[in-house]
Amino acid sequence: MLILPPYPISEVQLGILFLIFATLLAIRCHCHVKVTKGRLLPPGPPGRPIIGSILEVAQRDAPRVFTRYREQYGDLVLFQGLGKNVLVLNSLQAINDLLEKRAPIYSHRPVSVFGGELLGLNDTVVFLPYGEEWRAHRKLMHSALSPLQVREYHGIQADAAALLGKALLETPDEFWTLVRTYVGKIIIAITYGIPASSVQAELIEMGEELMEIGAKAAIPGNYLCDSVPLFKYAPSWVHFQREAQRGRQLVQKFITKPIEVVKHDMEAGIALPSFTQTLLALPQDEAPELERRIPWVSGTIFNAGAETTYATILSFILAMALNPDKQKLAQAEIDAVVGDGRLPNLEDRKDLPYVNAVRKETMRWLPAVPLGVPRRLIQDDFYGEYHIPKDTVIIPNAWAIAFAPNEKYDPQTFLPERFLDDSEPTTDPDTWAFGFGRRICPGRHLADSTIFIFIATLLAVFDISPPEDDEIVPEFTQHLVRIPQPFRCRISPRSDAKSELVKARAANSVV
C-alpha cells in the first residue's frame, strides 16, 4: 500500500508519481478491457496511449461533438483513460432506460475531488451521494419548491419581472447584468427574505463567483485531480489549489452569512417570510439535524437555481433578437389576451400558448444544461449487447435530444410552432431539460414560472432587435451551464403606455 506524505510534495516528485500511477492505471485499464470482452464495452473514439480518449470529455463544444458521434457510434459513446470510463448517452430512450428505470444504481454523482473535497461542496444536494442524507436535503427543499408552494411566489416573480422592465427602460444596454441581478433577487427573496440592500447585492455577487467556480468543477475531466486523485496533495502554489482555496473560503462565507442575517432579523422581529426562516423556526428536537442542514440546503437553492434561470432568460433575449417574426407573433398573442391596460401575469399562461411555446423553444434551441449533470453507476450493468462497468460516469446528452433529427421541423431553426402541433411528436424540453429520474431538478416549477413571467413581461413591454450597426454572433460559456456571452442588442419600449404600466407595477414591488 502506498503511504502518502503528510506534507505537500514537490513538482518533480509529483511528476514521477503521476507517471507511475498513469502506467499502473493504463495496465489496469488494459486488463479491464480483456476481462469485459465476454460482453462488449460500448464503442467510442480511439484513444492515445495511457490517457486514452478521456481528455476529450472536457473539450470545447462537447455537446455538439458528442451528438455528432451518435452517427458514428450510436446512442452509447464511451470515453476511456487513466482508469476512468465516461459514457455519453445520446438518446432519450437510453437515458430513460438507465437513469429512470434503473434509478437505484444510476442516481449517484461522480466522486468529485476538486468540487466536493477541495471546494467543500460535498454537503450540497447536487454533490451528495444518493442516500439518506441526500433524501433529507431533498425533502427540506421540496417544502420550499413544490408546485403548490411555488404558487405563493407568483407575486415576487411578477415584481422582479416588472423591476427588470423598469431598469431596462433606464439602462437597456446593461440587460445582461440586469437579468442576472433580478433573477438573483427572486431566489434570495424566496430563500432568505433578504430585501434590496448591500447584503443582498453582496450575496448576489458572491453567488455568481461561486457558481462560476462550481460549474467548472462539475465537468468531469476539467481538473486533473479528478482523474488522478493523488494530485489533490499538490502544493498550494499550483494553480488549481489556489482556485480551490479561494473557492473554499467563498463557500463557507456564502453558506453562513445569510443564515446569520436571517437569525439576527428573527431575533429583532424584522425578518421577512422566507424558506430559511420557516425551517429555523421548526422545533429543533423534531429535527435535530436541521441546524446543520439548513445552511447547505438554502445555499444550494441559490447556487443551483440562479445561473440556470438567467442563462435561459438571456438565451430568450438572444433568440428574440435573432427571430423578429416569432417575437411579433408572441407579442400579438399577448396584446389580444391581456390588452393595453395591464401587464401579463402567471394566471394568463393558459391563454398564452404561443408565448409558452416560445419558452419551450428557447429551452430547446439554446439548452442551459446541454449535457445534464453527470451521474455515476455504482455496480456493473448490462444494456443491450454492452457491459457498462461499475463507477462509469454517465453523461445524459440533452443536446442530442434537443437536436434529434426531425422530418417536419428542422431542429436547427427556432420554431415555437413545433410545440403547438399535436400531430407531431416532438420532444418537449419540460421532459428532459430539468434532468431525469430521482435526481430530477427540484427547482423546475420555480424556474418554469420565473422564465414564463420574465418572457411574457419583456414581450409585452419591449421590442428586442439586433444592433443597428452590427450582426449578432452568438457565443456561449463552455461550462456545465451554457450562458450566452455578453452580446449587443436593442431593447426599446413598444409604447409610452407600456413603459408607464411597467413603472407603475415596479413602484409597488416588494422584492
Among 446, 455, 461, 491, binds ligand HEM (CB under 6 A): 446
3-state secondary structure (DSSP) of residue 32: helix
Taking the CA atoms of the chain, what radius of gyration do you get in angstroms?
24
Positions in 447-466 near ligand HEM (CB under 6 A): 447
Binding of residue 104 to ligand HEM (CB under 6 A): no
Which residue's beta carbon is nearest to the bound ligand HEM? 443
Q: In this structure, are residues 183 and 303 in contact, taking their beta carbons and an 8 Å threshold?
A: no
The enclosing H or E element of 383 equals: strand 381-383
The three three-digit cell numbers of residue 45, written as one number? 473514439
Binding of residue 443 to ligand HEM (CB under 6 A): yes
d(CA 416, CA 365): 10
Quote the least distance from Cβ 426 to ligand HEM, whole Å: 18
Contact stretch for ligand HEM (CB under 6 A) within 61-69, 300-308, 344-352, 383-391? 300-308
Q: With the C-alpha atoms ordered 400, 402, 403, 407, is the resulting torsion angle positive or negative? A: positive
N residues, the chain: 511
d(CA 490, CA 327): 14
The three three-digit cell numbers of residue 91, written as one number? 438518446
347's CB contacts (< 8 A; 6+ apart) are none
479's CB contacts (< 8 A; 6+ apart) are 212, 215, 216, 218, 219
Quote the least distance from Cβ 434 to ligand HEM, whole Å: 5
Closer CB to ligand HEM, residue 165 or residue 443? 443
Quote the least distance from Cβ 216 to ligand HEM, whole Å: 17
Please give the size of the binding site for ligand HEM, defined by CB under 6 A.
26
Closer CB to ligand HEM, residue 78 or residue 369? 369
Contact stretch for ligand HEM (CB under 6 A) within 28-36, 54-62, 209-217, 308-316? 308-316
d(CA 492, CA 458): 10
Quote the least distance from Cβ 187 to ligand HEM, whole Å: 6
Binding of residue 300 to ligand HEM (CB under 6 A): yes
Quote the least distance from Cβ 312 to ligand HEM, whole Å: 4
Q: In this structure, are residues 419 and 360 in contact, taking their beta carbons and an 8 Å threshold?
A: yes
Q: Is 441 annotated as a binding residue?
A: yes
**How far does CA 490 lie from the centroid of its chain?**
27
Work out the number of other CB atoms within 10 angstroms of the CB of residue 39.
Answer: 13
Quote the least distance from Cβ 245 to ligand HEM, whole Å: 25
Positions in 394-433 near ligand HEM (CB under 6 A): 433
Binding of residue 160 to ligand HEM (CB under 6 A): no
Binding of residue 126 to ligand HEM (CB under 6 A): yes
Identify the burial level of 31 via C-beta atoms within 10 angstroms of its C-beta, where 0-12 means exposed, 13-18 middle and 19 or more buried.
exposed
Closer CB to ligand HEM, residue 150 or residue 234? 150
Binding mask 352-371 for ligand HEM (x = CB under 6 A): ----------------xx--
Closer CB to ligand HEM, residue 29 or residue 203? 203
Quote the least distance from Cβ 486 to ligand HEM, whole Å: 19
**CA-to-CA dists, residue 403 to 73, 224, 439, angstroms:** 17, 31, 23
d(CA 219, CA 60): 12
d(CA 241, CA 245): 6
Q: In this structure, are residues 352 and 333 in contact, taking their beta carbons and an 8 Å threshold?
A: yes
Among 435, 489, 493, 511, binds ligand HEM (CB under 6 A): 435
Quote the least distance from Cβ 221 to ligand HEM, whole Å: 18
Quote the least distance from Cβ 218 to ligand HEM, whole Å: 10
3-state secondary structure (DSSP) of residue 199: helix
Among 434, 452, 462, 487, binds ligand HEM (CB under 6 A): 434
d(CA 74, CA 64): 14
Binding mask 370-389 for ligand HEM (x = CB under 6 A): --xx----------------
- Residue numbers in the known binding site for heme are 441
Interface residues toward ligand HEM, by CB under 6 A: 125-126, 138, 145, 300-301, 304-305, 308-309, 312, 368-369, 372-373, 433-436, 439-443, 446-447
